[in-house]
A = this chain, B = another copy of it.
Amino acid sequence: VPPDEIRAVLAALKEGRLSPQEAEALLLGAVPVAAGAINLDIVREGRTGTPEVVYGATKSAEQVVEALARLAASETAALATGLDDAKGTAVVRAMPAASWFPTAGVVVAKARPERRGGIAVVSAGTSDGRVASEAAVVAEALGNAVLRIDDVGVAGLHRLMARITEIRACRVVIVVAGMDGALPGVLGGLVAAPVVAVPTSVGYGTGLGGLAAMLTMLNACSPGVAVVNIDNGFGAAVHASLINRAGP
């Protein structure tokens, strides 16, 4: 609860426009939680610019449906990630208006209208597809135009160069890569937009489940690159969306 909000609440209380009980609730920002219910943070969008997104991997389809319904009632977007085929189809059966993106493992129950600017989602290999899809679907649901480019890894640079003008037209670039994770650093030297790098767990042996790619990205020679957790297409989409939608 920041100072100016506190000031406003205190003034209203002093002037009798609020009871002490109402003032306290506002100051705490607390939302009563029914016993046994999921503790959804349904005021997150106002606070952080992004609504809570349901992480479906550890929830039942019923819990996902309930959570999406509650979020759709109060926020500008409602979506769930980390769903397998069984859960995804069960959710859209219960919510016919929702969309199910099986490649991404994402259900979108309510999407923001597209606004402006644009996010490129670029991936190095076909095996990085699920993570790139998650990033792209989440970014679109959060109201961003998305340019999707796949399979342009550094072993054949001409494939990347053939698309570079399109990428340069975007305001943010999400780059998804496993194995050596070299693509974000190369792209960071070719574009003037901030690069958000997503290492994937694609690879074997010394790939160490994505750690090798992550280290490459953190040590990229190009200084505009920032990194999110391994396979975290969702987190990259949120960071990129905040960038794309910021400013006048």
B221 & A154 in contact (Cβ 8 Å cutoff): yes
Query: Could you tell me the distance between the alpha carbons of A48 and B220 in the complex, rounded to whole angstroms?
Result: 14
Tally chain A residues at the interface, Cβ within 8 Å: 109
Query: Could you tell me the distance between the alpha carbons of A69 and B151 in the complex, rounded to whole angstroms?
Result: 19
B189 & A48 in contact (Cβ 8 Å cutoff): yes
How close is A97's CB to chain B, nearest CB, in angstroms?
25
Q: Which residues of B lie under 8 Å from residue A190 when comparing CB positions? A: 47-48, 157
State how many copies of this chain the complex holds. Answer: 8
Instruction: Among B151, B154, B162, B217, point to the contact of A189 (Cβ < 8 A).
Output: B154
Interface of chain A residues 97 through 133 with chain B (CB within 8 A): 117, 124-127
* Known pairs A248-B247, A248-B248; A205 contacts B232 (CB<8 A): yes
A243 within 8 A of B: yes
Interface string of A1-41 (1 = CB under 8 A from B): 11110110011011000001001100111110000001101
Contacts A154-B222, A226-B227 supplied; 19 other A-B pairs, CB < 8 Å: A3-B162, A10-B20, A10-B23, A13-B13, A28-B162, A124-B221, A153-B221, A154-B185, A154-B221, A180-B185, A181-B219, A182-B182, A182-B186, A182-B216, A194-B246, A196-B226, A205-B214, A206-B215, A226-B228
